[in-house]
Amino acid sequence: MKHTVLITGASSGIGKAFAELFAADGCQLVLTARNEVDLLTVQALLEVKYAASVNVIPLDLSAPNSPEELFQELQKQGITVDVLINNAGFGILGAFTETPLPDELSMIDLHVRNLTHLTKLFLPGMLERKQGGILNVASTAAFQPGPFMAVYYATKSYVLSFTEALANELRGTGIRVSALCPGPTETRFANRAEVGNSKLFSSSLMNAKAVAYAGYVGYKEGKTVVIPGFRNRLMAASVRFAPRNLVSMIVRYLHSE
């Protein structure tokens, strides 16, 4: 029996790469993102390349009622979701006093409120069937505070903490729960967040396909936290032992041009 995988933010980058991996695995796919044109392009690619069954639902998942709308639409179509990949996200670079509040509230809704809501909606069915899984895309930003990206770093800390707690609660249920924590990656994220010229993104970017593959393998192996790339794993480990004020100063420096 083929599993059905729901991927948010699937129109490009890591989400698109996840879609290819699960399509190659023979899964049925539900893809959602804001950009309908890009989603349809991904759908066509997967149908031709992998003969995959792909359902596309254009939706802005930062909107307040979007998780319920998505859930109801899938119920109406008779689609049961076995694996939920919460990948949709964006960032904003700038001093907190200068960045747009509406954008930051949308970020909180997308990364925190609606990720939690989607998990709440789809998890009971997985538990009833005693199979399935959740893969939340956090970030190496989750391991420390982020001056000049304060809200983004804080929301990703929530994603990591929430995922680790949920994984512990669901031990022995047959439900896999993983957090993927990528570092700087070649996606549209940098342009939208306006961090492309920062020191953080100036070198050693990982490829989105490599990041997704690491998350895919880690999820399959039942790992709770997956950090792709040796440099990223080293950074995540080192910040645990460094003074917090020093860590903040380093991150502040990395966000400068």
CA dihedral 31, 33, 37, 42 (to 10 degrees): -40
Q: Give phi and psi for 73, each to the nearest 5.
A: -65, -40
User: CB burial class (10 A; 0-12, 13-18, 19+) of residue 234?
Assistant: exposed
Cross-strand partners of 132: 175
Q: Which residue is associated with the tokens 């032992």?
A: 241
A 10 A CB-CB count for 33 gives 24
Q: Give phi and psi for 132, each to the nearest 5.
A: 130, -170
Q: Report the distance separating Cα 160 and Cα 142, nearest Å.
A: 6
Write down the catalytic residue from 152, 153, 158, 219. 152
| Strand (E) or helix (H) holding 116 | helix 114-129
E strand intervals along 22-103: 28-33, 54-58, 83-86
- Respond yes or no: is residue 152 known to be catalytic: yes
Q: Report the distance separating Cα 165 and Cα 151, nearest Å.
A: 21
Closest CA to 4 of 108, 75, 68, 58: 75
Strand 225-226 relative to strand 185-186, pairing: unpaired
Residues marked as catalytic? 152
